[in-house]
Amino acid sequence: MITRWYRAPEVILCPSEYSKAVDIWSIGCIFSELLGRNPLFPGDHYLDQIQKIISVLGSPSMSDLEFITNTQAKDFVIKLPKRTKQAFNVLFPKQNPLALDLLSKMLVFNPKKRYTVEQCISHPYFEGLHNPEEEPVAEKAFDWSFDDLELTKENIQSMIYDEALIFHPEEEKGSEV
């Protein structure tokens, strides 16, 4: 499997742009693969990847290119042959129309117009599965600073040993067996 096939346009065209929308794109690519049993955008390299995306989604409008900050990348997309959007109900003729509607909200070229995770799980496709009371949303960003550790062989061994001691305190260093 090649992860390039699941990369959002903004990751290819503006590598410094990374948001939650990137994950929605990737999930949409996986969802489309589940629906069609084949990758939707199997690009051979990053330029081909953008062309595969546009061949399915159609040529983006000028407003859909606003997020692209790299002039060369934007010019590349503008100069590509104009393509019309392929209908998901033609690409996936036997699939649930609600699944295809959700897919169309996830695979949107402009990340600012792509559905959020909250919109995705609230989509009618998930009716009966979505329960907002059991899906809390973090009120603040998670602090990962505790995990700011140099991963050397010795550090990893020590962390594994310390974790094992939680379950077997009788094996503490220096204790007699």
Q: Spell out the domain ranges in the chain.
A: 3-134
What pLDDT, on the 0 to 100 scale, is given for residue 1?
Answer: 47
Residue with tokens 């629906």: 35
pLDDT in tens, 4-47: 899 999 999 987 767 899 999 999 999 999 999 999 999 999 99
CA dihedral 16, 21, 26, 30 (to 10 degrees): -170
> How far apart are the C-alpha atoms of 17 and 106, rounded to whole Å?
17
> How far apart are the C-alpha atoms of 104 and 125, rounded to whole Å?
12
> How far apart are the C-alpha atoms of 87 and 57, rounded to whole Å?
9
CA atoms within 13 A on the CB side of 62: 0
What pLDDT, on the 0 to 100 scale, is given for residue 23?
Answer: 96
DSSP-derived letter for residue 92 is S
Superfamily, domain 3-134: Transferase(Phosphotransferase) domain 1 (1.10.510.10)
